[in-house]
């Protein structure tokens, strides 16, 4: 990101109300869920949203750790997205059994 993008992102974030920020954050969790579970790519999400800024819970190109997955499950539980939590729980168990991520 260049400096102009940082300024624009900062201005964008400052302009969000608490409700809008909560909505954007929730969408970021959903976006990251879709990437982690292989349902969507970050490019598909960005193109679909068509906005200047698309939120993700974590960088879309990062491999999630078990802790990341636990945090996302915590947020999804808050939103009562139990089916999504179930999918992540299966992924969590699989990764833990393989010892792939800390």
* Tokens representing residue 34 in the block: 């879709």
Name the pLDDT band for 2 (thresholds 50, 70, 90). very low
Q: Is the pLDDT of residue 67 over 50?
A: yes
Average pLDDT over residues 40-59: 86
d(CA 100, CA 95): 6
Question: Given this model, what pLDDT does residue 72 score?
Answer: 96
| Lowest-confidence region among 7-11, 15-19, 73-77, 94-98 | 7-11
Span 13-48, pLDDT tens digits? 565 666 677 888 899 999 999 999 999 999 999 998
Question: What local confidence, expressed as pLDDT, does residue 73 receive?
Answer: 97
pLDDT at 55 (0 to 100): 86
Give dist(CA 71, CA 31) in Å, integer. Answer: 14
- pLDDT band, very low/low/confident/very high, at 5 (cuts 50, 70, 90): very low
Q: Copy the structure tokens of residue 63.
A: 């491999």
């Amino acid at each position: 990101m260049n400096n102009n993008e940082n300024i624009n992102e900062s201005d964008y974030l400052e302009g969000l109300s608490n409700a809008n920020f909560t909505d954007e954050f929730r969408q970021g969790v959903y976006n990251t869920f879709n990437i982690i579970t292989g349902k969507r790519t970050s490019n598909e999400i960005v193109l679909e949203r068509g906005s200047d800024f698309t939120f993700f819970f974590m960088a879309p190109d990062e491999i999630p750790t078990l802790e990341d997955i636990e945090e996302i499950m915590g947020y999804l539980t808050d939103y009562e997205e139990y089916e999504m939590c179930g999918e992540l729980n299966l992924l969590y168990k699989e990764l833990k059994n393989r010892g792939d991520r800390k």
